[in-house]
């Protein structure tokens, strides 16, 4: 699986961005997918998760503002971020959970980070 993240940028507080993560694997629909972020001098944290069945979960600080989704036809994962705050500033990474499909093991994979900067 190869993951390519995009959509980061500079936005004012209260603004919105949509991150995208294009996946190469045909098993994309079967994998749990995640968005993580890492701010400067902070540990990486899990922001949002979407299961293969479509259920989602969020970091408490982004609940009600961020929405994770996937387009199976396009093999693309999204993170819609609304009402952005300066504390959301970080590098954002997409991640595919490890999976066992049809007897084949797929290790966890990471995309490159996309930078999000929210100015006050």
- pLDDT per residue as tens digits for the range 51-96: 999 999 999 999 999 999 999 999 999 999 999 999 999 999 999 9
Nearest Cα neighbor of 108 from 1, 15, 16, 20 is 1
Residue matched to tokens 């995009």: 6
Over 90: is that where the pLDDT of 28 sits? no
The average pLDDT across 92-109 equals 92
**What is the distance between the alpha carbons of residues 34 and 44, in angstroms, rounded to a whole number?**
12
Band (pLDDT 50/70/90 cuts) for residue 11 is: very high
Over 70: is that where the pLDDT of 1 sits? no
């Amino acid at each position: 699986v190869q993951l390519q993240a995009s959509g980061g940028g500079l936005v004012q507080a209260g603004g919105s961005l949509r991150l995208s993560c294009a996946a190469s694997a045909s098993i994309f629909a079967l994998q749990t997918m995640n968005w993580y972020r890492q701010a400067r001098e902070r540990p990486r944290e899990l922001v949002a998760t979407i299961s293969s069945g479509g259920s989602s979960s969020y970091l408490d600080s982004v609940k009600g503002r961020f929405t994770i989704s996937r387009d199976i036809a396009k093999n693309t994962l999204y993170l819609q971020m609304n009402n952005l705050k300066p504390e959301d500033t970080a590098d954002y990474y997409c991640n595919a959970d490890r999976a066992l499909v049809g007897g084949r093991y797929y290790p966890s994979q990471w995309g490159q980070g996309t930078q999000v900067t929210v100015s006050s």
